[in-house]
């Protein structure tokens, strides 16, 4: 199997494609494939040229940390949850998420997600018992990995603008259900950073690895 990877040596350098040959098991995930390609000290491209280890991020390898988000065969996905046997064709292409600045190879800087949440004070100030009637929905909203896949596919999200995307909606819902006193403030932030710019494309729901029903959080109380 041929593997094409869009690489970049540093944040300021130009990206370039590099091809590799993979002859390992097809039961492997894309994360496993990257590990496999990186395994030896002497790493070679498909043309036999010596090259550097491919940089990428991971932690859990079981779909719970969100670190391994990347674009696989044109679709944003978690590498550890995408299996080679499910991918069509004899070639696989892997590139970093495009909505975030590349640090190196497949590693991107997603700190804007946390920075946006910080700017709107989306934190629970003091412990308060959460609303019983929305427990099930709170549980779903709390599953958000902050992986950024929803922002990658969102036609309205541009890193650095005032529209904060689906991640923000989840947290608005969660904090609002946990702290009645913050509701006015959250509602204001919701209007400013989400409501007026969301075109309801809902592509976020298609790619979300946690299957979060983002649509159900769009009507903030």
Stretch that binds ligand SF4, among 1-9, 28-36, 186-194, 202-210 (CB under 6 A): 202-210
Least gap, CB of 204 to ligand FES (angstroms):
17
Q: How far is CA 137 from the centre of its chain?
A: 21
C-alpha distances (whole Å) from 194 to each of 67, 166, 199, 217 are: 24, 8, 10, 11
Tell me how far, at minimum, the Cβ of 211 lies from ligand SF4, in Å: 8
Shortest reach from residue 69's CB to ligand FES, in Å: 8
Q: Is 112 helix (H, G, I), strand (E, B) or coil?
A: helix
Nearer to ligand SF4, 8 or 116 (CB): 116
Q: 186 contacts which partner out of ligand SF4, ligand FES, none, CB within 5 to 8 A by kind?
A: none
- CA distance linking residue 71 with residue 161, whole number of Å: 22
> In this structure, are residues 170 and 217 in contact, taking their beta carbons and an 8 Å threshold?
yes
Among 84, 167, 172, 198, binds ligand SF4 (CB under 6 A): 167
DSSP assignment string, 114-153: HHHHHHTT-S--S--PPPGGGHHHHHHHTT-----HHHHH
Residue numbers at the binding site for ligand FES (CB under 6 A): 31, 58-61, 63-68, 78, 80
In the complex, least distance from residue 150 CB atom to ligand FES, rounded to whole angstroms: 14
Is there binding between residue 176 and ligand SF4 (CB under 6 A)?
no
How many residues are listed for the chain in this entry? Answer: 221
How is the chain split among helix, strand and coil, in percent rounded to 5? 35, 15, 50
Piece in contact with ligand SF4 (CB under 6 A), picked from 34-42, 83-91, 124-132, 163-171: 163-171
CB of 16 to ligand SF4, least distance (A): 28
Under the rule (CB under 6 A), what is the footprint of ligand SF4? 66, 144-150, 166-167, 170, 207-210, 212
């Amino acid at each position: 199997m041929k593997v094409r990877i869009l690489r970049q040596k540093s944040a300021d350098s130009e990206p370039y494609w590099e091809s590799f040959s993979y002859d390992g098991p097809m039961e492997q995930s894309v994360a496993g494939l990257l590990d496999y390609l990186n395994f030896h000290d002497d790493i070679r491209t498909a043309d036999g040229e010596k090259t550097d280890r491919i940089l990428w991020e991971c932690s859990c390898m079981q779909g719970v940390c969100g670190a391994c988000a990347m674009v696989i065969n044109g679709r944003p996905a978690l590498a550890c949850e995408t299996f080679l046997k499910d991918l069509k064709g004899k070639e696989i292409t892997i590139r970093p998420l495009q909505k975030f600045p590349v640090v190196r190879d497949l590693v991107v800087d997603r700190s804007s997600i946390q920075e946006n949440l910080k700017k709107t004070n989306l934190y629970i100030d003091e412990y308060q018992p959460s609303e019983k009637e929305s427990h099930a929905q709170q549980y779903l909203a709390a599953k958000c990995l902050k992986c950024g896949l929803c922002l990658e596919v969102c036609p309205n999200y541009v890193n650095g603008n005032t529209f904060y995307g689906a991640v923000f909606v989840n947290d608005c819902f969660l904090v609002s259900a946990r702290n009645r006193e913050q509701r006015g403030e959250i509602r204001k932030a919701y209007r400013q950073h989400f409501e007026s710019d969301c075109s309801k494309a809902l592509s976020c729901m298609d790619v979300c690895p946690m299957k979060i029903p983002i649509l159900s959080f769009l009507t903030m109380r």
